[in-house]
Chains A and B, each alone.
Chain A
């Protein structure tokens, strides 16, 4: 079949293109130009980064057509701007989810349909399981590379069209070996790290440039409003963290370790409380995406409220466009982060953690 492969220039999506080509499909490569790579070059200079050149070289090597798709404007408005605005609201966003949902699985996928493709494949590490009632999304064979948490917002319609050929790969070494066997020059290329549009790892600087108020200093207070210290900008804090609290950790009442329990953006206050015994069992989710028919009285499942952590037992009920989560044990869900519902390896759906206070 005619299938579009989203090629990032990395090892994973290159191997996907190669595998599908070797299976005899008509493969079309597409690479999204998401932001101006030539940040040191002047306007009008070529903006192609190394990754685009790599993707193009792989496509040439595989002898498949390859296109560079300009998504800069859409990426800026739907991912980078939202990223900064979320921090300014006192949340901790997950830009990869926004990117997968908008630029990749809406725009590029729409383009694949326009081009008469029957499917679109990516190098994500998740498994897609075909069933009589439609495709299911599962954790991959290689749990160390699990990207299912970042893909919870994939709709059923998108999932039916998508393919994730790496979901069954036992580990990355096998993928690299495949790349090597295909003779791809990128076989030894390092994995991409962190947030792609934050070149030097300092996301707070980017946020501060777009939302200067996030760099304004403010107070660190306890839950009774007593000022315990000061901070240098709310964007550096996430609910649940104990870093960047200075000596508050040792100063506090009974010497118990403290952590951030809330971020009040309008007053620029970071609220802290004791690490032990903090947390809540009930919280709300917004922009819920369901990948199964949720029963009216909810579903018992496990939920994962951070990118890397052990799932927690929970009961989840639909609540309009959102959902209400009841945890068995209290936890510290960070507003803006994703809460993804699992049953075994299967993704049942997910949403973004609401900001509301307890």
Chain B
């Protein structure tokens, strides 16, 4: 039996998303074509655009479909924030951290939230800035104080880009009210399929495309959009907004308490966090060994953000929060939308077996 508790890597695809996917995948039309087939494709695309814009409180024409979160972040940084000084939170995802080499890093507090005083100092410069702050951290679930960050940005004339990839369905997020200027989302992170994401813009701003191509997405993102994946994304969003986040949070809390009793330390537990995520440190046991042990026991969790080589390195997020060796001894457990009580129980018994064998020893 295998138990999937790695939702922050990717959520299991939702039934509604799979239905939309297969339905739209049957369509031949390219949304750019002028004939009837093209019109049908265009209708599907623009319907998806409207139904994606609506729950975020933005307009359809301010939605740019991308291949996913990484492209949306890159488009924000390069196409939207182009020419602006870039200020990036230390715990951002690599999609943002690695997007542009010349950027200043903003420190976080020990609880993982952005250091607002440091942000204010960094914003004091003359040149116009773009600040990148994630809505929820993928490794710890910690939420940044977005309203305060947005207020500071507004005061300084800076733009705010929010990587909200972990938020939809898990966090009430009114884009219009958040004060953010742009926001990145990714379909498979809320139960769509891999291959579609979006950059949402607050206003009708100018965005230079990363790929010019045939001028699709109003000249802001070239290339034929991945229509089936986009349809799956919007269908998933509708379903995700109806998730019982309380149910998941209760399971997470139980998991966390029992893991603590087995010897774990919970990272960021003094900050507001996503209800589905917990980051557990088992002192003296490498994250690699923990992942392998749990995997061989049929439990799928993760550590840090996996490099494509699959090697597990110390977490840059935990390092930024001031952790030492513990940054290499943490695993992330993230409950998917369809998590069952039995999954949590299976995790806990595997975790307890692991701590009984490996825990509480000298590193």
By a beta-carbon cutoff of 8 Å, the part of chain A in contact with chain B is 28, 33, 42, 44, 46-48, 52, 56, 65-70, 111, 114-116
Q: Which of B94, B288, B296, B311 makes the CB contact (< 8 A) with A28?
A: B296
User: B311 and A68: CB pair below 8 A?
Assistant: yes
User: B309 and A47: CB pair below 8 A?
Assistant: yes
CB of B349 closer than 8 Å to a CB of A: no
Which residue of chain B has the shortest Cβ distance to A111 in the bound complex? B289
Contacts of B285 in A (CB 8 A): 114
How far, in whole Å, are A46 and B307 apart by their CA atoms in the complex? 7
| A53 CB, nearest partner CB in chain B, Å | 8
CB of B293 closer than 8 Å to a CB of A: yes
How far, in whole Å, are A115 and B97 apart by their CA atoms in the complex? 34
CB of B208 closer than 8 Å to a CB of A: no
| A13 CB, nearest partner CB in chain B, Å | 17
User: A115 and B288: CB pair below 8 A?
Assistant: no
Contacts of B295 in A (CB 8 A): 65
Q: Considering the complex of A and B, which 9 residue pairs feature the smallest CB-CB distances, nearest first?
A: A48-B309, A70-B311, A68-B310, A68-B311, A33-B311, A46-B308, A114-B289, A44-B98, A68-B309
Contacts of B292 in A (CB 8 A): 28, 65, 67, 111, 115
Which residue of chain A has the shortest Cβ distance to B289 in the bound complex? A114
Contacts of A56 in B (CB 8 A): 310
CB of B178 closer than 8 Å to a CB of A: no
Contacts of A44 in B (CB 8 A): 94, 97-98
Q: Would you give 7 A-B contacts (Cβ < 8 Å), ordered by A?
A: A28-B292, A48-B310, A56-B310, A66-B310, A68-B309, A111-B292, A116-B296
- Please report the total number of B residues contacting A with Cβ < 8 Å: 21
CB of B151 closer than 8 Å to a CB of A: no
Contacts of B94 in A (CB 8 A): 44
Which residue of chain B has the shortest Cβ distance to A48 in the bound complex? B309
User: B288 and A67: CB pair below 8 A?
Assistant: yes
User: A69 and B296: CB pair below 8 A?
Assistant: no
Contacts of A65 in B (CB 8 A): 292, 295-296
How far, in whole Å, are A42 and B288 apart by their CA atoms in the complex? 24
Binary interface encoding of chain B residues 83-99 relative to chain A, with 1 for a CB under 8 A from any of its CBs, else 0: 00000000000100110
Which residue of chain A has the shortest Cβ distance to B328 in the bound complex? A70
How far, in whole Å, are A68 and B308 apart by their CA atoms in the complex? 10
Inter-chain pairs besides A70-B311, A114-B289, 15 sampled, C-beta below 8 Å: A28-B292, A42-B101, A44-B94, A46-B308, A48-B308, A48-B309, A48-B311, A65-B295, A67-B288, A67-B292, A68-B311, A111-B288, A111-B292, A114-B293, A116-B296
The listed residue with most B CB atoms (<10 A of its CB), out of A33, A65, A67, is A67
CB of B67 closer than 8 Å to a CB of A: no
CB of B312 closer than 8 Å to a CB of A: yes
How far, in whole Å, are A114 and B309 apart by their CA atoms in the complex? 22
| B138 CB, nearest partner CB in chain A, Å | 17
Contacts of A68 in B (CB 8 A): 309-312
Known: A69-B288, A111-B289, A114-B358. A46 touches B296 (CB 8 A): no
User: B310 and A115: CB pair below 8 A?
Assistant: no
Contacts of B307 in A (CB 8 A): 46-48
| A305 CB, nearest partner CB in chain B, Å | 37
CB of B51 closer than 8 Å to a CB of A: no
User: B98 and A70: CB pair below 8 A?
Assistant: no
User: B296 and A70: CB pair below 8 A?
Assistant: no
* B252-277 CB contacts (< 8 Å) to partner A: none
CB of B338 closer than 8 Å to a CB of A: no
